[in-house]
């Protein structure tokens, strides 16, 4: 076989990880006078690496997360009262296997969404099926969708191992259809012991107001909080800090 034919055969066999590095590995083998098995092992590793990174990419896309965040880039000194230990506990993901939830509630800009996204991203890396939902936007989208689309969205929110409902009640009161959707999702996931992480800057005592129904708020909270870690985020807004440093850096700041 010529080199071209080998490359074609590798692609036909869906071994593109090997095909992409073939010429490099060949050169390496010739330069180093490597034993065949050593070169072959490198090529197999190339294929395994390629498959793993594709799988992670697919899982990340499927989660609908918009960024890959971690806890390593979080500045714990900025708001020293944050429940750091509880955040790392969540990041360890044991709560997913236990079917427990997490409620991250507190002041705007304190990093609730950041921590929730970091936990969700870590879950995708560990092989969990994750769905990240910007609550207000997607509730609005749901209420305008056709019945078939609604059924498929509902499945997408009920079936994953982990659902993140980010920034719940950001736009204050949600409409009745959205409130019912939230109730259905929470009930279904509770029944199947599937985890939810909620972030909100609205204290749970006020949820009745935002749902427009106090009884519904109680039934939702009852299930959400039955097996849940409660994380309170007190402190200053990091957004304001960033805005302040931008102003300080701007060339017109002293003008
Ligand atoms: N302690 C921190 N260290 C580093 N970055 C932070 C920290 N806290 C917040 N941020 C960053 O500040 C921005 C705002 O944080 P985030 O969106 O997580 O806040 P939030 O608590 O969800 O606010 P809101 O209630 O308004 O939704 C994000 O870009 C986040 O990465
Ligand atoms: Mg947020």
Q: Return d(Cα 239, Cα 51) in angstroms, integer.
A: 38
Q: Ligand 1: which of 83, 111, 202, 245 to mutate, most ligand atoms within 8 Å of CB?
A: 111
d(CA 198, CA 227): 13
* Residue 108 near ligand 1, beta carbon < 6 Å: yes
Query: Ligand 1 atom closest to Cα of 104?
Result: 21
What residues are paired with 184 via a beta bridge?
none
Q: Is 113 in the pocket of ligand 1 (CB under 6 A)?
A: yes
Query: Rounded to whole angstroms, how far apart are CA atoms 227 and 230?
Result: 10
For residue 53, report the distance from its CA to the centre of ligand 2, in Å. Answer: 29
Residue 117 Cβ contacting ligand 1 at under 6 Å: no
Question: Does ligand 1 come within 6 angstroms of the Cβ of 200?
Answer: no
| Residue carrying structure tokens 């995708």 | 124
C-beta separation of 189 from 155 below 8 A: no
pLDDT value of position 245: 75
Report the largest interatomic distance among the alpha carbons of the chain, rounded to a whole angstrom. Answer: 75
Q: What H or E segment, with its residue span, contains residue 159?
A: none
167 lines ligand 1 (CB under 6 A): yes
Domain ranges, ordered by start, for the chain: 3-62, 84-241
> Which ligand lies nearest the alpha carbon of 81?
1
**Ligand 2 is a single-atom ion; what residues have CB below 5 A from it?**
112-113, 167
228 contacts: CB under 8 Å, gap ≥ 6: 100, 101, 102, 103
pLDDT in tens for each of the 255 residues of the chain?
A: 999 999 999 999 999 999 999 999 999 999 999 999 999 999 999 999 999 999 999 999 999 999 999 999 899 999 999 999 999 999 999 999 999 999 999 999 999 999 999 999 999 999 999 999 999 899 989 989 999 999 999 999 999 999 999 999 988 788 888 889 999 999 999 999 999 999 999 999 999 888 888 888 999 999 999 999 999 999 999 998 877 777 776 766 554
202 lines ligand 1 (CB under 6 A): no
Please give the number of the atom of ligand 1 that sits closest to the Cα of 79.
Answer: 1
In the numeric block, the tokens 């309170």 are attached to 232
Quickly list DSSP for 88-122: HHHHTTHHHHTT-EEEEEESTTSSHHHHHHHHHHH
Cβ–ligand 1 distance for 239 under 6 Å, the answer: yes
Q: CATH homologous superfamily of domain 84-241? A: P-loop containing nucleotide triphosphate hydrolases (3.40.50.300)
Q: For residue 246, what pLDDT is reported? A: 76
Which numbered ligand comes closest to the C-alpha of 236? 1
What pTM value is reported for the model?
A: 0.89
Measured from the Cα of 116, ligand 1's closest atom is 18
How many whole angstroms separate alpha carbon 114 and alpha carbon 192? 27
Going by CA atoms, what residue is nearest to atom 17 of ligand 1?
113
Contact between 225 and 103 (Cβ < 8 Å): yes
């Amino acid at each position: 076989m010529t080199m071209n034919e080998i490359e074609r055969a590798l692609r036909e066999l869906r071994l593109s990880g090997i095909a992409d590095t073939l010429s490099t590995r060949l050169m390496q083998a010739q330069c180093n006078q490597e034993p065949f098995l050593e070169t072959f092992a490198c090529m197999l590793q190339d294929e395994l690496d390629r498959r793993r990174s594709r799988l992670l990419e697919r899982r990340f896309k499927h989660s609908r997360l918009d960024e890959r965040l971690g806890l390593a880039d979080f500045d714990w000194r900025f708001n020293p009262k944050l429940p750091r230990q509880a955040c790392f506990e969540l990041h360890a993901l044991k709560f997913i296997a236990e079917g427990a939830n997490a409620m991250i509630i507190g002041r705007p800009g304190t990093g609730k969404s950041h921590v929730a996204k970091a936990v969700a991203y870590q879950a995708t890396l560990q092989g969990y099926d994750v769905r990240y939902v910007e609550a207000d936007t997607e509730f609005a989208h749901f209420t305008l969708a056709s019945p078939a689309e609604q059924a498929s969205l509902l499945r997408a929110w009920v079936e994953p191992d982990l659902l993140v409902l980010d920034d719940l009640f950001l736009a204050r009161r949600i409409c009745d259809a959205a409130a019912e959707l939230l109730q259905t999702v929470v009930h279904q996931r509770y029944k199947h012991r599937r985890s939810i992480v909620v972030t909100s800057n609205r204290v749970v005592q006020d949820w009745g107001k935002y749902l427009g129904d106090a009884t519904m708020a109680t039934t939702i909270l009852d299930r959400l909080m039955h097996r849940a870690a409660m994380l309170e985020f007190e402190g200053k807004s990091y957004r304001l800090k960033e805005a302040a440093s931008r102003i300080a850096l701007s060339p017109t700041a002293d003008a």
